Structure 1
Amino acid sequence: MRNLSMSDHRNLVSDRSPFLSFVLILITVFIGFVVVGPLLGFAVGSQIYDGNLLNDLQTGSDNPGFFLAGMVVQGIAAFVGLVVFPVMHIRFLEHKSLSPFFPDQPKLGQILLAVVFLGVAFLVAISPISEWNSVMHFPESMKAFETWAREKEDMAAKITESLTHFSSLSDVMLALLVIAVLPGVGEELVFRGMIQRELWRSSQNIHLAIWTSAFIFSAIHIQFFGFFPRLLLGALFGYVYYWSDNLWVPIFAHFVNNAMGVVGIYMSQQKLTELNMEDNTAAPWPLVLVGVVATAGLSYFIWNHYRQNPPNVKDFSGSSVLPHQDPLV
């Protein structure tokens, strides 16, 4: 594993102490994604919705106008809270450049194509974990928590159903923007680009940084009956970012994962497939084994590509630094 020194600016989002930087990142995301973004989204959504938007956002609705209003609220919240505020944090609070997140790299198209197949294989490989997590039960001492968590899960499912009831192809395109593009960009910028980097700088242990960031990523969704597959997905995004030093790679992986869900739901609604993307039933074990082998092989391909083509990155002041020499994990 690489030894991260405090002078290695490739891994700095801030010149402050890692702890203070981490706290400031959380404050920035909280203000943007929990306060300002939702309020702004609600203000705009209310202007185009004929109904009780606040209530329907909590319970879901079959009102024909709810889809657009809900997408507006969710889209503005994600864009403001996970893109605008984090970018402002980096540029104006920390006075850093965004360019080191997205270095030029050879054969990036090949890697992104591999990421598509990796995303599919990984979902198949972890499908038994998804099924187990979706029906898991807590000890009797945590019965109250299980009841609360199940109520939150059912509520989220109702809202998701309302926001994925597509009446036209334009609805699908809007859903791809709000559900796949914006979270892909915003969540990867925050959890991998900012939080994972600062945890790495603090602990000097990349594995601890990746898994802690993935844990926070999964927990913040407050959907505990999908916690473990989301944790594993976050770790996958963390490792491909670590190997590549290019935020486009986990962004694209995140986009592919979410887009498959949106497109799969639309195809199911149009009777183009019998596959139910909302069904957590595990794939047959032979297919799971193929998924595991394919995930390992594609991960090795991506890792080996960057081992042979070390990313040439710049520090966060824009100055050139030594190439990323050893992507071993």
Structure 2
Amino acid sequence: MKNLLDIKGIKKHFPVRGTKDVVTAVNDISFNIREGETFGLIGESGSGKSSVGRCILNLISPTSGEMRYKGMEYSKFGKKEAAVIRTEMQMVFQDPYYSLNPRKTVWETVEDTLRVNKNLAATDRKKMTVDALAKVQFFENDYEKYPHQLSAGQQQRVGIARAIAPKPKFIVLDEPTSSLDLSVRAEIIDLLVKLQKDSGITYLFISHDLSTIQFLCHRVAVMYLGRIVEYGDVNEVFHNHRHPYSKALLASVMKPDPKIPRSDYRLSGEIPSPINLPKGCHLASRCPEVEAKCREIDPPFIDVGNGHFVNCHHAAPLEKERIPVTQKN
């Protein structure tokens, strides 16, 4: 598969009001997203996942770095050029209620997305709105409802309809199921899978729900304090994780069978402040495998095989320890 997006060395700093300090939300990360795949970003709250998604969509401007869509470096596009890209890149937000305008009906919410395209005739706009709503199981008797008249799951379906209405190539899904009940969550995930299968949409799926990431994604990157610390095929990362942070993160997943042994791998200590990040590995103050060089030298990305990369001094390829997995296509 060809790369749809190429992200290289992006950083995002937020100024701290009244001081010269900055919060480093995204710290020199690089990755690519292939056409038609679901790429997952996982990590705890504050790791920079959502900031990455917003940078990619230019909702916030990266402090530095390069972003390419279909080979075009678009981060510094003017308004006209950016408008063309924007119709092909959409977002579904975390909280469905607060992401919808309470004064607009279901129909108005979805149709307004298409009004950005000034070349679209009213008849085409109507047809595309009906089509988008039908794909999320909304029909004529639902069109005049307001957000407060809908359940959380229905609200999120409207958010998805709004995103797919312009027929985008790429959608950022920013924790789209985190505020939903488990049964509704499963319905939304099934809907996203069907939409991708039918139209070939590419997703960036941002979440801390590890089971959903493993089910939905083809490849995944693990983030900690604004950095990607490990990435690769989702089954490789989940079963053959090498980075200490990934080990601790995945050890926290509950096992459905009490007979399955659980890892007791843990981190200790305080998370460093994103205002005053330490040199070397940012996990050094908490890592049980830390050595002197970890506190002084930035770790390189090491290829441990099968397209699996780890940002750690200790991540040498260890074929004997690898658990055989089936890579997702």
Instruction: Tell me which interval the TM-score lies in, with the shorter structure as reference length.
Output: under 0.3
Task: State the TM-score, normalized to the length of structure 2.
Answer: 0.24
Point out the structure with the larger helix share: 1
Point out the structure with the larger strand share: 2
Greater length-normalized contact order (CA 8 Å, ≥ 6 residues apart): 1
Task: State the TM-score, normalized to the length of structure 1.
Answer: 0.24
